[in-house]
Structure 1
């Protein structure tokens, strides 16, 4: 253990790596902040501060990171559930354009740069080519759309 006695910063770096590994498993942005404190203590050890000062530096930096940085990082990486919808579910509520007449059984619309099979809900109004429509739901690979009187032709 002469290596750690001669290079105390190495022990702090090892602790930071362990904390980073734990963070990778938990993804809670707590252990990475503690790892930041350990890295600050490694820097303090490298410049020759005594062990007690290294511990104080580690605690102060970790607390500052937890209080100031963690809320920002957490807010950035955890968006509202509505904004996290991906894939087809993210298309509900979006506007598209009719390419081929949309009836209760068939039709085609351009939506998010792609051509989709489409139909209107039972009892809905038939949508004509060039008409703007809004996606109300998705059933398999078919979007269910409703007509919208305002709109222009797609580009």
Structure 2
């Protein structure tokens, strides 16, 4: 017990490491904030022998980390781009139509490496062969496409 009184920094270090390891299993970003508070207690123990000061600094650092750092860190880690699966990933894809397309004459297009039946999105539109089109919608096994405007020289 006498050794611990002389080496308080070792207790803070052990607590910080234990909380850091426990965070690896929980992944809630709570224990790592407490480990940071314990590290602040360790730094305080190097400057003073007052256990009250060490506990106070460790507590304040932990609360500050939980209140200020954790929310923004959790938002950043848990947020991100949405995963688009299935045929919705084809929306916005562009391809060149090898055949003339109209509502009465659907054609086969190669969209992102897959063969799709395609018709114009606008029922009154006729798309000439060789035009670049964009997929606006997928209904069933049919891609509804619209021509991309091009600048003529």
Range with bigger deviation, 38-47 or 20-29: 20-29
Is contact 1:30–1:66 with CA below 8 Å preserved after alignment?
A: yes
Pairing 1:150–2:151 present:
no
Which residue of the partner structure matches residue 47 of structure 1?
Answer: 47
Secondary structure of the structure 2 residue equivalent to 1:58: helix
Unaligned residue ranges in structure 2 (runs of 5+): 121-125
Pairing 1:11–2:11 present:
yes
What is the CA RMSD across the aligned residues, in angstroms? 3.4
In structure 2, how many angstroms separate the alpha carbons of the residues matched to 1:40 and 1:144? 62
Is contact 2:137–2:145 with CA below 8 Å preserved after alignment?
A: no
Q: What displacement does 1:134 show?
A: 2.1
Unaligned residue ranges in structure 1 (runs of 5+): 110-114
In structure 2, how many angstroms separate the alpha carbons of the residues matched to 1:2 and 1:87? 62
Secondary structure of the structure 1 residue equivalent to 2:68: helix
In structure 1, how many angstroms separate the alpha carbons of the residues matched to 2:106 and 2:89? 20
Q: What displacement does 1:35 show?
A: 0.7
Which residue of the partner structure matches residue 37 of structure 2?
Answer: 37
In structure 1, how many angstroms separate the alpha carbons of the residues matched to 2:106 and 2:13? 65
TM-score for both structures, normalised by structure 2: 0.71
Which residue of the partner structure matches residue 112 of structure 1?
Answer: none
Q: What displacement does 1:98 show?
A: 3.0
Greater radius of gyration (CA): 2
